Amino acid sequence: MIPVLVKWVTCEVTDTDRFAAGQAGWSALRAWPGLLGQAGGWSTRHPGRAHVFGCWRDRAAYHTFMAAGHDRIAAGQAGTYRAIEVRLFDEVHQLRRPLPAVLAAAWVLRLAHGPGQPGRPLDGAPDEPVTTPGFLGGCVAASGSAGFLVLTAWRATGEPVDTAGEPVDTAGARRPAGEPIRLVPAWTVGPAA
């Protein structure tokens, strides 16, 4: 496993239509060396909260993008949110398949975040091996100041879900932990081929 840098952006959105339209501008990321993938969508628990997750080869590639290209793309969403929080994490454990490899196929990301210490499990981290229907892959990532992040990717096909996107317990299936983020396919950006 080659660890990746995971960027987690949370926005409290005031103009959802303009924010979503501006999110389409992030397709320009595809041209940046070191981008492994980006996806995002809306919280199913907090109306108006958008989450975007980007995966980068390393901090050097990420910082090059931030210095030379970020502000031009971000300008397309100016004035569409009242608050933004950006956190960076280093992947410490891969779950089934790497997160960047499954972003395009995922319909839902499940997010668990909190303080933690190396060697101690984080609430929301799936048990290994994960056998719940619909599970694609994901990662556990750490940041000294922001704690731990568990991000898992799910495909709704074949996984019973209720109207809020929550998996429904079925005969012997374990209910996945974490906040569900319903992905918006137009927000998914893959690396240049």
Range of the domain at 104: 5-187
Assess if residue 160 is contained within a domain: yes
Q: Which parts of the chain are beta strand (E)?
A: 5-13, 35-43, 49-56, 81-95, 108-114, 135-143, 147-154, 179-183
Q: What is the pTM of this model?
A: 0.85
Over the stretch 24-62, which tens digit does the pLDDT of each residue have? 999 999 999 999 999 999 999 999 999 999 999 999 999
| Residue 53, in any domain of the structure | yes
Look at the chain and count its residues. Answer: 193
pLDDT per residue as tens digits for the range 80-110? 999 999 999 999 988 888 999 999 999 999 9
Number of domains in the chain: 1
